Amino acid sequence: MTAIFRINEHDVPWFEYDPAIRVKALTRNVPGVPPVQFVEYGPGHTDPVHSHDTDEFFIVTEGELFLEGDANGPGSVVFIPRDTEYAVRAGAEGVRYFRVVV
């Protein structure tokens, strides 16, 4: 029987990825659990256009996350198919979101 995995993002330290980006690797080194990160972008930060070879879900918890000019606020769920080019831009107050890799 498989055990239920759970974690609270408040129990995981931030990793400073970039001066404007912090990440919490919530499921790092947990076998059988999809990669999940809690991500924070500073106000107005914009990624370069890029893609990944995996599908991704973003679940916005605070602020605004812009993709292709559209704002996604708290409670929004965004799906990005593998090999899709995109760039995340944080709103004026920054953004926090969960990134789930599938």
Percent of the chain with pLDDT over 70: 99
Residue 2's pLDDT band (cuts 50, 70, 90): confident
The answer to whether 51 touches 42, Cβ cutoff 8 Å, is: no
Tell me which residue has tokens 């400073």: 16
Closest CA to 20 of 53, 51, 43, 54: 43
Give pLDDT, residue 78: 98
Q: How far apart are CA 91 and CA 80, in angstroms?
A: 19
Determine the residue type at 5: F
Q: How far apart are CA 93 and CA 26, in angstroms?
A: 23
Walk me through the domains of the chain, giving residue ranges and CATH numbers: 23-101 (2.60.120.10)
Is pLDDT of 29 > 50? yes
pLDDT digits (tens, 9 = 90+) for 43-88: 999 999 999 999 999 999 999 999 999 999 999 999 999 999 999 9
From the number of C-beta atoms within 10 Å of its C-beta (0-12, 13-18, 19+), residue 4 rates as exposed
